[in-house]
Structure 1
Amino acid sequence: MLNILEKINGFLWGAPSLLLLAGTGLFLTFVLKGLQIQKLGYAFKLAFTKDKDKSAEGDVSNFKALMTSLAGMIGNGNIAGVATAITLGGPGAIFWMWVVGLLGMATKYAEALLAMKYRVKNETGEYSSGPMYYIERGLGKKWRLLAYAFAIFGAFAALGIGNSVQSNTIADVMSNSFHVNGLTTGIILVILTSLIIFGGLKRISAVAGVFVPVMAVFYIVAAIIIIGINYDQIIPAFALIFKHAFSPISAAGGFSGIVVTEAIRHGVSKGIFSNEAGLGTVALIAGNAKTSHPVKQALVAMTGTFIVTIIVCTMTGLVLIVTGFWDASGGLISGVAHDPTLEAGALTSAAFGSSLGVVGEYIVSLSVVFFGFSTIIAWYVYGVKCFEYMFGVKHIKIYRVIYVGATFIGTIASLTTVWAFADMANALMMIPNLIGLLLLYKIVKEETDNYFADPITKELKSS
């Protein structure tokens, strides 16, 4: 079974899918005339200020919607994923992560805009949104099967890659770093997860609004300190990134050597893994934002991709490069000797520890725990929205119980097969979502053009 799943995933996450993801981002960037660069400053202004328009409707603020989305994105992909990209693709992989991040901002923008435009109110008066809604309502009922396909795979992926896989990683870290057994970790996670998710979206977004900024700042500050300590390696690090984004790396210092295609492949794949652009997850929370126009929340949503890929992933990558830990065979810049058998997450921990000692290693360990827990909370929102679409509001309690159960199972079970299933479901979420985005691109362009052509919008932007 595992071999079959690995072959399926090898195809689903192969070059055609990655090209489709990157291609969609490139196409939307062209259609929107590079909006993610032109309007980035305005987008951040919207993200951190309250929408004063009295016509604004929604369940949570733009900021809390963004933080909930970031809770799902800022995770172990920003620690282990970046390390994997660099060790397998070389420093040049960071450049390609930047590229896919910038293109992914256009994809995220389109997802959030369509989520807002086609959102609906459920029986409790709360908004529901996501790719399944804009596929069905935007393309018509004949596309409903595609909408259901996204919902099925989204609900399953939330139980796996968004939940049990995360709790499994947390349990491993708690055991290895803090000597807490899996059963104890499982019980604690079940209690904390239940307290938050049974409180509904407003409690989840409130927790994310406090938890995520503190967590991200804590990690980024530690990374900046390490980069500052190794300040003399900053320019050589950037030189390596740009040089090896376009040229092969010769075998040296025990390093096996890498061709440019490997840098591109791992940079693109891990960039997408870290920011989820194209998977449709941001659309599942964006519709709950309290805002007066779909474009406003779309702009806010795209800042999440910038924060995750351009800031957090870059910090991790620079730490690995300036400390010499990007080469798992011994370090090509600073010559730091270290264990060549280190896995991705442990490699990042060792890189932090090389400059900050045991404190640095604990920072990474705690980051893995907190990032993983925030991912569990955020992916519950994604999963329950998908479940609600299929079975209605009155049955979501069933999903809550299943979700909490998956959290516990993850801490005590081997999840190799579950990871493979979840990885497959994650990829299968992408296909219906990208079809919806490409078929509805004219709506995205029309809404965007109308918003920025409005004289009132221009006045608000300048005030």
Structure 2
Amino acid sequence: MDTINDFFLTLSSFLWGWPMIILLLGTHVFLTFRLRIPQRKLFTGILLSVKKDDKAQGDVSQFGALATALAATIGTGNIVGVATAVALGGPGAVLWCWLTGIFGMSTKYAEGLLAVKYRVRGEDGRTYGGPMYALERGLGLKWLAVLFAVFTGLASFGIGCTVQANSIALLASETFGIPEWIVGIFICVLTASVILGGVKAIARVCTVLVPFMALLYIVGCIVILIMNGNYVWPALELIVRSAFNPSAAGGGFVGATVMMAARYGIARGLFSNESGMGSAPIVAAAAQTRNPVRQALVSSTGTFWDTVVICALTGIVLVSSILAYPDITYADGAALTKVAFSKIPYVGAPLLAFGILTFAFSTILGWSYYGESAVNYIEGRRINRFYRILYIVALFFGSIINLDIIWNIADTMNALMAIPNLVALLLLSGVAARETKKYLWGNRLDEEMEEEQQS
């Protein structure tokens, strides 16, 4: 097992190293200008996300699709992951993470557009889509589509399932003294009550859970920023300065370099918002939308909320807390986050615990749909129920076992997912540009596209 773990650790480190960072960030920048900066239509996307359109084709509302995608992306990485980036790369990592989110909106936009453009309606009346359909129907690369589906199915049992269950179980055990096996059973029952109902049930729960948990966490961040009021502006200045001159941070960050700040900030931003990974477009394809661009705009707001808002707020909270409380130890990202939130009297620690618990559970729900859709693409609906049962069982084992090897395998699968998806995004960028020109820049957002039936 040690040999296998070392293999996946080495492979994961390579895949998530500079080549992947450059490829993902390069795709973000390329699509931003290829599509004529669709970020300019952010507020249009926000308005569309809360607008109901019963006449449009699809299985769930646009907001339901967005909430489900956010459920999978807003996770413990937004809380602990940003702190780890700050601890390893210095305060400047926050700026690089934020810039990744700004440019990543265009990639999430393109993913949503292609998901709707190449989605199909099966004989059962359900809508199917995602990178595997774009690869097969848009490029004729069936083998690459199958590879993406395989990687997605495997990844769903890792980052979306066992590691999240483990995070919940450990937190409940450490905070409330509840045995991990009891927590595991509770997670299984709660998850089963949702995912056995399919994408509509998942979307209904996420539509309520995601706004609530995100708003509560944001309020907590704002309270901390008010408490650190005298240090917020200095924190912002330090974040900008140290992004290009890490030694400006002083203290324990003197050894940091611009490359370290950029690497950890960009990597955390990419991993957090999943722009380019190919997961979010799977549920975007199920949205009730009149044309690909409407859902593309809605999808792009997911990266905005996840990285540009939540990750940025977390980063400012952490850096201002380091300035306000010089005795804080920031070598450990998790410890840094706990100390920052503990400064809120009485409710700080419970608020952080609740945030981690709900963020992790929402990720479990979102990734269950991604994995099921991938398995469905390979083998058809006949094994959907088997997948759900297996997913629920995996949750229990994830709650009670050591997951070092699972983390490394999951990180590897996530990186491998991104490669076929980026192929689709780059080779089909011309299609995305034409659709954007027609519907967005041609002021035809209310027009309907023709839906195709699955053969």
Fold similarity call, TM over 0.5 = yes
Q: CA deviation at 1:151?
A: 0.3
Aligned in 2, Cα 1:251/1:305: closer, same or farther, shift over 3 Å? Answer: closer
Q: Which amino acid aligns with 1:240?
A: L
Q: Determine helix, strand or coil for the equivalent of 1:26.
A: helix
Determine the C-alpha separation between the residues in 1 that align with 2:45 and 2:98.
19
- Please give the alpha-carbon distance, in whole angstroms, between the structure 1 residues aligned to 2:440 and 2:260: 40
Instruction: Say whether the 8 Å CA contact 2:242–2:249 is kept in structure 1.
Output: no
Q: Which amino acid aligns with 2:230?
A: D
| Cα drift, residue 195 of structure 1 | 0.5
Q: What 5-or-longer segments of structure 1 have no aligned partner?
A: 325-332
Question: Take 2:434 and 2:99, find their aligned partners in 1: how far apart are those partners?
Answer: 26
Partner of 2:189: 191
CA apart distance, 1:251? 7.8
**1:18, CA displacement in angstroms?**
0.6
Shift in Å, 1:262: 0.6
Secondary structure at 1:46 match in 2: helix
- State the partner residue of 1:164: 162
Aligned residue number for residue 62 of structure 1: 62
Alignment partner of 1:113 is 2:101: no
- Of residues 427, 433, 438 in structure 2, which corresponds to 1:450? 438
Q: Is the 8 A contact 1:122 1:393 kept in 2?
A: no
Q: Which residue pairs with 2:240 in the alignment?
A: 242
1:73 is aligned to: 73
The amino acid of 2:58's aligned partner reads G
Contact preservation (8 Å) 1:22, 1:104: yes
State the Cα distance separating 1:49 from its structure 2 match: 1.3
- What per-residue deviation string (whole Å, max 9, x for no partner) do you get for residues 385-408 of structure 1? 000000001111111111001111
Q: How many Å separate the matches in 2 of 1:48 and 1:73?
A: 19
1:26 pairs with one of 7, 21, 29: 29
Structure 2 unaligned blocks of 5 or more:
449-455
Instruction: Letter of the 2:366 partner, please give it.
Output: A
2:452 aligns with none
Name segments (4+ residues, structure 1) moved above 3 Å: 250-256, 338-341, 453-460
* Distance in 2 (alpha carbons) for counterparts of 1:72 and 1:206: 14
CA distance in 2, matches of 1:148, 1:21: 21
TM-score normalised over the length of structure 1: 0.93
Deviation (angstroms), 1:28: 0.3
> Residues 335, 439 of structure 1: CA spacing in aligned structure 2 closer, same or farther, 3 A cutoff?
same
User: Are 2:343 and 1:345 equivalent residues in the alignment?
Assistant: no
- Structure-1 separation of matches of 2:66 and 2:328: 38
Determine if contact 1:322/1:334 at 8 Å carries over to the other structure: yes
Following superposition, the deviation at residue 334 of structure 1 comes to: 2.3
Q: Note the C-alpha offset of 1:322.
A: 1.2
Asked if 1 retains the 8 angstrom alpha-carbon contact of 2:57 and 2:288, the reply is yes
Residue from 310, 324, 328 that aligns with 1:334: 324
Shift of 1:178: 1.1
Instruction: Give 1:339 shift.
Output: 4.6
Q: CA separation in 2, counterparts of 1:251 and 1:76? A: 26
Question: Which amino acid is the alignment partner of residue 291 of structure 2?
Answer: H
Residue 43 of structure 2 aligns with an amino acid whose one-letter code is: G
Of 419, 425, 432, 2:420 maps to 432
Counterpart residue number, 2:453: none
Partner Cα separation in structure 2 for residue 121 and residue 396 of structure 1: 17
Question: Does structure 2 retain, via aligned residues, the 8 Å contact 1:349–1:365?
Answer: no
Distance 1:378 1:457, change over 3 A: closer
Query: CA offset at residue 121 of structure 1?
Result: 1.8
Q: Is the 8 A contact 1:219 1:363 kept in 2?
A: yes
Taking the aligned partners of 2:430 and 2:334, their CA distance within structure 1 comes to 42
Residue from 375, 390, 393 that aligns with 1:402: 390
TM normalised by structure 2 equals 0.95
Q: 1:46 aligns with which of 31, 45, 48?
A: 48
1:361 is matched by which residue type in structure 2?
A: A
Match of 1:330 in 2: none
Look up the match of 1:417.
405
Which residue of 124, 145, 148 maps to 2:146?
A: 148
Task: State how far apart, in whole Å, the 2-side matches of 1:199 and 1:453 are.
Answer: 39
Contact in 2 for aligned 1:251/1:257 (Cα 8 Å): no
**Could you tell me which amino acid in structure 2 is paired with residue 236 of structure 1?**
P
Shift in Å at residue 253 of structure 1? 3.3
Q: Is 1:138 equivalent to 2:127 in the alignment?
A: no
The number of equivalent residue pairs is 445
Residue identity over aligned pairs, in percent, reads 45
The residue type equivalent to 2:290 in the other structure is S
Give the letter for the 1:64 counterpart. Answer: G
Which amino acid in structure 2 is aligned with residue 427 of structure 1?
A
Q: In the alignment, is the contact (CA less than 8 A) between 1:250 and 1:257 conserved in 2?
A: no
